[in-house]
Amino acid sequence: MSDTEAILAIAKKTIENEAEAISFLATLLNKDFSNAVECIRHSKGRVIISGIGKSALIASKIVATLNSTGTPSIFMHAADAIHGDLGTVQKDDVVICISKSGNTAEIKMLVPLIKRGKNKLIGMTGNPDSFLAAQADYILNTYVEKEACPNNLAPTTSTTAQLVIGDALAICLLELKGFSSKDFAKYHPGGALGKKLYLRVGDIASNNQIPQVSTNSDVKSVIIEISEKMLGAAAVMEDQKIVGIITDGDIRRMLNKYDNIYGLTAKDIMSITPKTIASDVLAVKALEIMQANNISQILVVDGENYKGIVHLHNLIKEGIL
């Protein structure tokens, strides 16, 4: 077997082992899981998630997922908690402790302190007979038969199982709370995902110049307007209303059609059915229209009022495409 074949075989086996373990997790779900979800859902406080080692890294990711989907959460390292950070936990907070064995020294020290504060404790562990499981109000069982590591030592499958159960918690809470795409956008305003959910064509058009010509503008004036405004097109206006559009493509077609362009006006070369979009429509919708019609620009309107142009390059720059 070549090195390439051996490497691919190992990778495939790892993925298959972890996939099998994750599928088995579904059989471990019980009323404790639903009670844990309801406990978090009805809590007046935050979710504090703690762990040690690799479980601490998974705890941080679960915190990030919960925060981004509308459940306020804080990460608290188990070792730091017993050396001063326990003050992170407030009266109404729900605490989740993550530990594969449920018997690590830090967890054994931390759990009684949490119980003393009368906070609800959710234990995420692969050992239902552990100290953590015995002390927890609710147990999230993340049992795996073995790690993907051939020595059954390096946390691999077990941490994947923790991650999946964390995602399951987050999605349950998201759906029960009716967390919508608009809510999601509030927590992701700076990224491409957020922009797809809140950026509107009017926001983009307002930063562009507004190229326009009248129906009787000569060809030279049209070309200058399109060139100066740098959007590859200009709206053709009559009585302050859009009656057409002239694009770079229309200019090229004109040059192919006419040997003598002297005396031609915008009305002679414009396209009379320009695509328009309301200024309050999401920018991602503008992209859909452009793709469906194989165009690079779309005219932005507010009622019958012309507000400008959005170009495909604008959408690329904003990360919409």
Binding residue positions: 77
Task: List C-alpha distances in Å: 281 to 42, 126, 171.
Answer: 36, 48, 28
Binding residue positions for Zn(2+): 77
What is the Cα–Cα distance from 306 to 235, expressed in whole angstroms? 8
What is the Cα–Cα distance from 299 to 171, expressed in whole angstroms? 39
Contact 192, 315 (CB under 8 A): no
What is the Cα–Cα distance from 28 to 13, expressed in whole angstroms? 23
Residue 77 backbone dihedrals phi, psi, to 5 degrees:
-65, 135
Task: Give, as one character, the DSSP assignment of residue 161.
Answer: H
What is the Cα–Cα distance from 315 to 321, expressed in whole angstroms? 6
| Sign of the alpha-carbon torsion through 86, 92, 96, 102 | positive
